[in-house]
Structure 1
Amino acid sequence: MREQLLAAEKVKAIDWREDALYLLDQRALPRQESWLACGTAAAVAEAIAGMVVRGAQAIGVSAAYGVVLAARARHAQGGDWRAALEADFAVLAAARPTAANLCWALNRMRERLQRLKSGEDPLRALEAEAAAIHLSDREANLTMAQLGAELIRKHQGNLQTVLTHGNAGALATGGFGTALGVIRAAHLEGMVEHVYADETRPWLQGSRLTAWELLHENIPVSVIADSAAAHMMRTKGITWVIVGADRIAANGDVAGKIGTYQLAVAAMHHAVRFMVVAPSSSIDMDTDSGDDILLEERDVRELLDLGGQPLAAEAGAFNPVFDITPADLIDAIVTEKGIVERPDTARLAQLMSRKHLH
């Protein structure tokens, strides 16, 4: 199965080469594939905030490379470059506040800096750490894809019709994808017949990005309006909703793309199973519940305009980009450490205590 998944890797969003970070500009997809070169930490932070790169894991990987760029610049300036580097950590951390992976990756880079040995090349060490974060995310994606496919087989092994929301594929990660990784793996094993992708307003990650990725994989996909999801569950035989996550609280509450919560409510009503796929780096055991997660809001023009053109009446607007799905609406959380069915505080604590997958 692993070999099949590796052979199916066709899309990537992040490339580190020639001492710079190259990001596939996701604002331009699917019309064109263009890459943006980032040579400074400020440029990386701007790319994250501006949605050039998005998805919790991709943001974390990009920020790690941003630290490498910052360290090179600060080291070249001389003086107490490590102290000066803290300003760059702060700029990167502020770029997107909800995703747990951003702070996780920055903390890992800071810890590596603190572990430097006498005579060790700090720039080489930080670059190696960023590359390791990138590689570990790719490996985690592959593991989650296999586990999620096994879960589908366990509960309903025949041909499935699934629904997904937002974009939790290769574009959102450093590798194969989380929710889309599971869908890809299940499709390779002949278990997914059709995918419905919510358009995911206002950034249209579903219609622009998820549909684009699935078409690359020759997986049958239909785009639907966000408001059509409950109707599709009632009439189209959908058996699974499979989504990613940006942060998971200690009790299993999930912060995800706005609209995820209402999907979970509709899935519960229609007896459709609800799977969240995210790496353990998205689980924040220091946050007790979803009530404690800071949810990002963005410029209302993203909601009122489309492609830079006014779309709506000039009314007041509110543009939250994440919501909280309570743990009791979730059938399973799939991570690279294992699967937690019917998640709660005790089960997540047990999962996070594992060093390796059992």
Structure 2
Amino acid sequence: MHTAPDATALDFDRYDRVRPLRWTGQALELLDQRRLPFAVDYLACTDSDAVAAAIRDLIVRGAPAIGIAAAWGVVLAARALPASVTQAAEAASRLEPALQRLDAARPTAVNLRWALARMRRVLATAGADWRAALEREAEAIAREDLAANRRMGALGAALIAPGSGVLTHCNTGSLATAGFGTALGVIRAGVAAGRIARVFATETRPWNQGARLTAWELAQDGIAPTLIADSAGAHLMRSGRVQWLVVGADRICANGDTANKIGTYPLAIAARHHGVKVMVVAPSSTVDMATASGDGIEIEERDPGELLRFRGERVVADGVQAWNPVFDVTPHALIDAIVTERGVLERPDAARMQAFAAG
């Protein structure tokens, strides 16, 4: 385990300017990530089904942000119940269908389930002020995520030697969290601490989260990333310009296997071949000790048309079929370090994960 450097020495505010979720007191406003980087528009969700649709349609994405959005979705569902519902037990029963619809919006990211479980626990112990209790819990989930991200940033950056280059895949920054980010938080902290000299980002097909989102986010903070095609990762590693692959996670299993955006697995294989280290950065809420290994993870598959079309226009010949898994699983043997807000776990395996969870 590593101890964190003094996080207060890092200029977090300079590198933390984007917020994907805003609670107005009446609605949950979500930055529409489908329209970035060319339009910065917020969509107001006034009921839980609108939040579920926003999660499903990738208006909000990233495992921590999905969990936070779902928590606020429960608050909105509670506000829709009549004032005559005064007891938490009755509220829990009447809210359960809305919670199940939120739960079904995305199957792979464990944070969604984790956040909903927290909201259920609050209802189970709440009294007559159950509506306020739900709102306090949603606020706590968001507040704790931001604090966790800043701590992970400091912990992960401390592993990186000064002057290093890093490669990241997909988007794991403020847009995917309450703020600062997981893997991108490590990159922000590494740049702020003078440890990271070069940042490379994959385009991340087919939704181009790296090209549209990660590159845009870093540019907001004055960090100039170099964009590469997904297929250029191994060649980049061979060149010696990167020393770390730093990625997020949507689920970390009991043996350290990790689900992340499709394309992470081949990058991890290439990293091991070329002596590039692999760091997985995620809050402890992403750890799923109930799933023994990556074989037990349900891998979400989206509309094959996402591969067949670009900006609404078909780009392949008629009759061509597509397969569109959204995530893949990186075996724990390819991971050098897992960073959570609770510390750094090096060379993860089942025994180390069990000790980490117990500690």
Same fold (TM over 0.5): yes
Q: Shorter-chain TM-score: which interval?
A: over 0.9
2:327 corresponds in structure 1 to 322
- % identical aligned pairs: 54
Structure 2 residue 233 is the aligned partner of structure 1 residue 233 = no
CA distance in 2, matches of 1:249, 1:18: 36
2:144 corresponds in structure 1 to 136
1:169 to 167, 173, 187: 173
1:84 to 94, 107, 113: 94
**Per the alignment, in what secondary structure is the counterpart of residue 157 of structure 2?**
helix
CA distance in 1, matches of 2:197, 2:317: 40
User: TM-score scaled by structure 2?
Assistant: 0.95
Structure 2 residue 80 is the aligned partner of structure 1 residue 73 = yes
Deviation of 1:122 (Å): 1.1
CA distance in 1, matches of 2:93, 2:245: 46
Deviation of 1:82 (Å): 2.7
Residue 239 of structure 2 aligns to which amino acid in structure 1? T
**Per the alignment, in what secondary structure is the counterpart of residue 274 of structure 1?**
strand
Kept in 2, the 8 Å contact 1:194–1:219? The answer is: no
User: TM-score scaled by structure 1?
Assistant: 0.95
Deviation string 1:160-215 (CA, Å, 9 cap, x unpaired) is 11100000000000121000000000000111111111000000000000000111
Residue 242 of structure 1 aligns to which amino acid in structure 2? V
Superposed, 1:4-43 pairs within 5 Å as 4-43=11-50
1:334 corresponds in structure 2 to 339
Kept in 1, the 8 Å contact 2:203–2:211? The answer is: yes
Kept in 2, the 8 Å contact 1:193–1:220? The answer is: no
Residue 213 of structure 1 aligns to which amino acid in structure 2? E
**Per the alignment, in what secondary structure is the counterpart of residue 81 of structure 2?**
helix
Q: How many corresponding residue pairs?
A: 348
2:157 to 149, 161, 166: 149
**Per the alignment, in what secondary structure is the counterpart of residue 242 of structure 1?**
strand
1:298 corresponds in structure 2 to 302
CA distance in 2, matches of 1:227, 1:184: 25
Of stretches 231-240 and 316-325 in structure 1, the one that deviates more from structure 2 is 231-240
Deviation of 1:76 (Å): 4.0
Residue 341 of structure 1 aligns to which amino acid in structure 2? E
**Per the alignment, in what secondary structure is the counterpart of residue 301 of structure 2?**
coil
CA distance in 2, matches of 1:210, 1:320: 21
**Per the alignment, in what secondary structure is the counterpart of residue 172 of structure 2?**
coil
CA distance in 2, matches of 1:8, 1:304: 36
CA distance in 2, matches of 1:318, 1:296: 11
1:256 to 260, 264, 279: 260
Superposed, 1:113-128 pairs within 5 Å as 113-117=123-127, 120-128=128-136
Of stretches 300-309 and 98-107 in structure 1, the one that deviates more from structure 2 is 300-309
Question: CA RMSD for the aligned pairs?
Answer: 1.2
1:160 corresponds in structure 2 to 164
Residue 122 of structure 2 aligns to which amino acid in structure 1? R
2:284 corresponds in structure 1 to 280
Residue 358 of structure 2 aligns to which amino acid in structure 1? S
2:107 corresponds in structure 1 to 97
Deviation string 1:290-348 (CA, Å, 9 cap, x unpaired) is 00000100001111111111122230110000000000000000000110000011111
CA distance in 1, matches of 2:301, 2:27: 30
Kept in 1, the 8 Å contact 2:92–2:124? The answer is: no
Kept in 1, the 8 Å contact 2:260–2:327? The answer is: yes
Deviation string 1:246-265 (CA, Å, 9 cap, x unpaired) is 00000000000000000000
Kept in 1, the 8 Å contact 2:92–2:120? The answer is: no
**Per the alignment, in what secondary structure is the counterpart of residue 4 of structure 1?**
coil
